[in-house]
Amino acid sequence: MKRSEINAAIDYVIQACEEFKLPLPPFAFRSPDAWRDSDEEEREIVDTMLGWDVTDFGTGEFLKTGLTVFVFRNGSYHHPERYRKPYCEKLLFVRDGQVLPFHFHWHKIEDIINRGGGDLEITLWQADEETEEITDRNVEVSMDGCQVRVKAGESVILRPGQSITLMPYQYHQWQGVPGTGDVMLFEVSMTNDDHTDNRFKEASDRIPSVEEDEPPRYLMFADYDQYVPYARAEE
């Protein structure tokens, strides 16, 4: 992705959060220079990958296939003794008509909650836990505490206020239903690591490479190693 696209995507979500009256923490607005001057008292932000994440999944078409994320809190697969949170909370901002590609998680259980805006269509398949191939089995999910069986390849709609619980090995793709508006999603889940717990149906770049066509106005978690002085420090 171009850095200009990333900057614009984050600016767009900041404005949307103001309209939705969703306050973001101060580090959401921190400049790269301010990150360079930060110290190890804020190491949890870096080590648990808090903050911004923008991706087009390697498609080069962010507005068609993409996602803008802000991670508020998270634990750590790598340092569970230091960061004992067994949970994660994220804002997942879906633009009108935007698609998230098919994938599942090996470990993470997650609740996807439509907090407002448009409708979200989620298409589901059950993967075989040995082969990881898609099956024709029904997908059993919980929607706001109600157990629902969804036929393989069929969809459910999350309207504002509704939620779904997704278990490991449940392939899912979603799209903001075109014409209904941007969707303010939240994810509440087990500890998350986007480097290691995403199995895409087709090969995709979950963490995109960045073309630096303009200076960054904000950092994504993938930028911390480059800008934050203690990001690579030994324990």
Residue 230: what pLDDT?
Answer: 86
Whole-angstrom Cα distance, residue 216 to residue 187?
26
Residue 198: what pLDDT?
Answer: 76
The DSSP H or E segment spanning 187 is strand 183-190
Residue 234: what pLDDT?
Answer: 46
Summarize the confidence of residues 79-85 as an average pLDDT.
Answer: 92
pTM of the model: 0.94
Summarize the confidence of residues 77-94 as an average pLDDT.
Answer: 94
Which residue reads 């991670």 in tokens? 71
Q: Phi first, then psi: what are they for 86, rounded to 5°? A: -95, 20
Whole-angstrom Cα distance, residue 90 to residue 59?
23
Q: What is the pLDDT of residues 20-45, one digit of tens each?
A: 999 999 999 999 999 999 988 999 99
Summarize the confidence of residues 90-103 as an average pLDDT.
Answer: 96
Whole-angstrom Cα distance, residue 24 to residue 8?
17
Q: What is the pLDDT of residues 155-213, one digit of tens each?
A: 999 999 999 999 999 999 999 999 999 999 999 999 988 777 778 777 567 788 899 99
pLDDT score of 14 more than 70? yes
Q: What is the pLDDT of residues 131-141, one digit of tens each?
A: 989 999 999 99
- Which amino acid would we find at residue 17? C
Over 143-185, what HEC string results?
Answer: ECCEEEEECCCCEEEECCCCEEEECCCEEEEEEECCCCCCEEE
Q: Give the mean pLDDT of the chain.
A: 93
